[in-house]
Each structure stands twice: as structure tokens, then as C-alpha cells.
Amino acid sequence: MEKVYFTSFKATGNENLLQKLKRLMKTAGFEQIDFNDKYAAIKIHFGELGNLAFLRPNYAKVVADYVKELGGKPFLTDCNTLYVGSRKNALDHLDTAYLNGFSPLQTGCHVIIADGLKGTDETLVPINLEYVKEAKIGHAIMDADVVISLTHFKGHEMTGFGGAIKNIGMGSGSRAGKMEQHCEGKPYVKEYKCIGCGACGRICAHGAPVVTNGKATIDKDKCVGCGRCLAVCPKDAIAASFSDSLKVLNYKMAEYTYAVCNDRPCFHISLICDVSPNCDCHSENDIPIIPDVGMLASFDPVALDQACADLCNEMPPIAGSILDDNIKEGKCGCGHDHGSHECCHDHAGHEGHGIKGDRFNMTHPDTEWESCLDHAQKIGLGKREYELVRI
């Protein structure tokens, strides 16, 4: 059973949150890692322009300063995105990182976009697992001696939530690596809902959606299954036809994480705050679905993700959030008809504290996250069973 260390966001005049984060890391065994003259990649999400839910750069500075204190050479890193946005190449990505506060002056370390200018600087990592034989990882991440994941734990429209495995596995993939992870799933258009606005075509990097006679269609040969068109459609006319392929995405993501973490020191930190329903890749962020929970750290990314999910599922929904709306509309994903005795909504207590269920599946009922953790455990990435140590 792996240990996952947890502390709340409560602070006092004697210890602020930044000092508390360092104490959490120290208690979790951060100093067991040999950082002396070692390059330490701090894998983080810089946030898409317009999104404000990403982690504050102040937290990144705590991690970078701690690495330097232990003799290491830290750098913040991420890979370019598959979709069209403000992080699709290294120049735009760096501009976005700096505009969102992740400059060397604010974090105390440099930013390196791991897969280079156009997302093609990759290291081919042979792993010979069930779904991925050779992972395509951003070169700078594989060049590092130590990997530290600093994760904003939040919802995700395809994987249920974005935790340590999502941050490392999907985030460390080069553009080709991201395409490999996504390629099993292809969305489709519900024509009766489509208004022909063209938003899907404008967001697509590959020209898959085409509007003809006022209705969109998606060319399955061009589509890479990244899911961005699902997020931007104003009428929910685009739906996932993923079924088993969502599981395949989860499996591949776990195997990509294995490629990054295998045979070198890794440490994982997740902050459960501003729990937006969607990924920080969105150029907007919605009302958080649950209240802030706390900060967690572990050497085991699987145990860490499981602990984060468990803590989130204990929290009440925030009024006015997508989660709250879904519960009220009977889209809660609990498996029972809305209004039935078994429906989770009918068990709501004061201010929603009695509502049961998986907060992330209730937010995105087509998703599930457990297959990722099951597969991660199967391939030896970590264990789902854990001991939560509160400090």
C-alpha cells in the first residue's frame, strides 16, 4: 500500500500555503531524491490563454526553489498541443506561459517546451506494452534526470479527470504522441442539432469538419479524435462515438506515463483547487464543480490519482456548476432514472452534502476514469490502494 500525503488549504499567520506545500513535499520524502547536479523537469500545464483555472506560478516557484536548494537544475516544461490554440508551437507556447505568469523572474527557473519549435523534437521510447510499443515523448523530458509532476487536478471532457497520469502521459507526448493516444476515438455530428455555425471547423487543426448545406460532417480519415470540436459546439451537436475507445485512450495514457517514469526518479504533486469541469487546454474555465480540497504528494502517480478522486467524491457540488446542473436535470450518471428512489439527486442533503456518486462521471456522463488506473496498476506504474497521511 502506497502512502499519499495530504494537507488542506487552511493556513495561519505562522505558515502560508507556499510554506505548507514545501512541508508537504518534505514530509512525503522529496529529499530522498538525489538532485545534486541533476536536471529536473517540472511537468506542468501553463494554461491556455483566457483560462484562469491553471495553477498559480507561485506554486511552481516553491518546487523549483526546493530543487535548487538540493543542488538540482530545475526547468518548467510541457509539450505542444495537438489542437489549434495558443500553445500549438514553442513560440506561442512560451508567450502563453509568460503571459500566464510562468516567466523565470516569477518562478525562478526557465521554461523549455519539450518537443521543440513545431512539436517534432521527440524521443522514441520502446516500452512494448499492450497498446503502445514505442512512445513518442518530448525530447527535453526524456533528457531530464528527474521528473516532477505538478498537477492541477480538474475535470476532463474525455478522461473524466485530469490528474498526474494525464499531466504526464498526455502532456509529455509530442504532437505525434498525442495523436497516437487520441486516434482510436472519432466524434460524429447529430445533424438535427447542428446549426452550421462552423465552430468545429475553425478549431480543427486537420480540416476534418466541413459544413455543407448548413450541416457539418466530419471526415473520419482526417479526424485524429482530439475532441476539441465537442467542446466548442454551441449546440452540443457533436458527440463522442468512443465507447471502448475512451478506454483505449486511458490505456495509452497510462502506458505513455510508464514510458516517462520508468527507471528514473519521479515525484508527484497534485493540487485540488479551482476544479474546473474541463481541461486547462480550454481558452475559458467554468465555475468549479466542487470546493477546493487540498494539496497531495506521493511517489506513486496511481495512488495519488485515486486519492484525489476519492477526496473529490466526498465534496458537495457547487451551486450553478455543470455538476450541479446535471444533477438537477437528471444527467447525474448514477444509473437510475431521475426522480426514482435510487437517484442520487433524491438523496441530496443540506446544500448538496448528501449527494452520492462519482463527481467526474456526473459532470461528463460519457466518461470514466477507473480503466486508466486499473491499466496503470496492471503495467506496474503504481497501485490503487493507498494510505492517506494527513499532515
pLDDT in tens, the chain (391 residues): 899 999 999 999 999 999 999 999 999 999 999 999 999 999 999 999 999 999 999 999 999 999 999 999 999 999 999 877 899 999 999 999 999 999 999 999 999 999 999 999 999 999 999 999 999 999 999 999 999 999 999 999 999 999 999 999 999 999 889 988 987 667 899 999 999 999 999 989 899 999 999 999 999 899 887 777 876 889 989 886 655 588 999 999 999 999 999 999 999 999 999 999 999 999 999 999 999 999 999 999 999 999 999 999 999 999 999 999 999 998 766 555 544 445 555 444 334 446 889 999 999 998 999 999 999 999 999 999 999 999 9
Between CA 74 and CA 82, with CA 77 as vertex, the angle to 5 degrees is 170
Indicate the domain borders of the chain: 2-182+247-313+366-390, 187-240, 318-357
Crossing angle of helices 57-69 and 17-27, in 10° steps, is: 50
* Interatomic CA distance for residues 298 and 64, integer angstroms: 17
The reply to whether domains 2-182+247-313+366-390 and 187-240 share a CATH topology is no
Q: Which of 89, 3, 46, 94 is nearest to 296 (CA)?
A: 3
- For the entire predicted model, the pTM comes to 0.86
Is the CB of residue 78 less than 8 Å from the CB of residue 101? no
CATH of domain 2-182+247-313+366-390: 3.40.50.11440
Q: Which of 174, 183, 168 is nearest to 372 (CA)?
A: 168
* Interatomic CA distance for residues 165 and 161, integer angstroms: 10
Is the CB of residue 217 less than 8 Å from the CB of residue 260? no
Residue 312 makes CB contacts below 8 A (sequence gap 6+) with: 153, 161, 272, 275, 290, 293, 359, 360
CATH of domain 187-240: 3.30.70.20
* Interatomic CA distance for residues 139 and 120, integer angstroms: 9
